[in-house]
Amino acid sequence: MRITVVRGDIIDQDVDAVVNAANSGLLGGGGVDGAILRAGGQAQLDARRALRDRIGSLSTGQAAATIAGDMRARWVIHVVGPVWTSTEDRGGLLGSCYREALRVADELGARTVAFPAVSAGVYGWPMRSAADIAVTTIRAIDAGVDEARFVLFSDGAYAEFSRALDRQDP
């Protein structure tokens, strides 16, 4: 699997699946989640409601998919990242978001997947640590996905994910 890092907006990516940093209720929030929901329109909102009605809420570290609606992507894979805390190591839960997203992508037959910096926004995860966990986790997975693309909105996030990828390049 090829791993790439791009500076841009995840909603504009021409990929099979976009990973959404969702909240457990799945119906939109701020940041990446709100942007993806707005871009997906009514069809995505309806799909999220149907998913929520079927499963209740999505647990931290888990993933589930819906159609993407009006986005370029075909699917949105929703993950709930952990809230960062200095008193508990929740890195395993953050890594699980990436593993589970790729598992769901494989089930869907997605060949290209765009990821945000899960938990590194309003959930407060330090960007350097978020980048290291994300890149290390994705590298360790043998998935049917051809490309895992980290799409970062800010220069700082792009720099940290680029650093993590360069540092860990074989």
> Looking at the annotation, which residues are catalytic?
33
Strand partners, 7: 152
| Helix axes 91-108 and 127-139, enclosed angle (nearest 10) | 40
Residue 56 to residue 153: CA distance in whole angstroms? 30
Residue 168: other Cβ atoms inside 10 A = 14
Give which of 5, 4, 7, 18 is closest to 113, Cα–Cα: 18
Count how many Cα atoms sit within 13 Å of the Cα of residue 80 in the half-sphere of its side chain: 13
Q: For residue 22, which of 65, 73, 70 has the smallest C-alpha distance?
A: 65
Burial class (CB in 10 A: 0-12, 13-18, 19+), 129: middle
SS3 133: helix
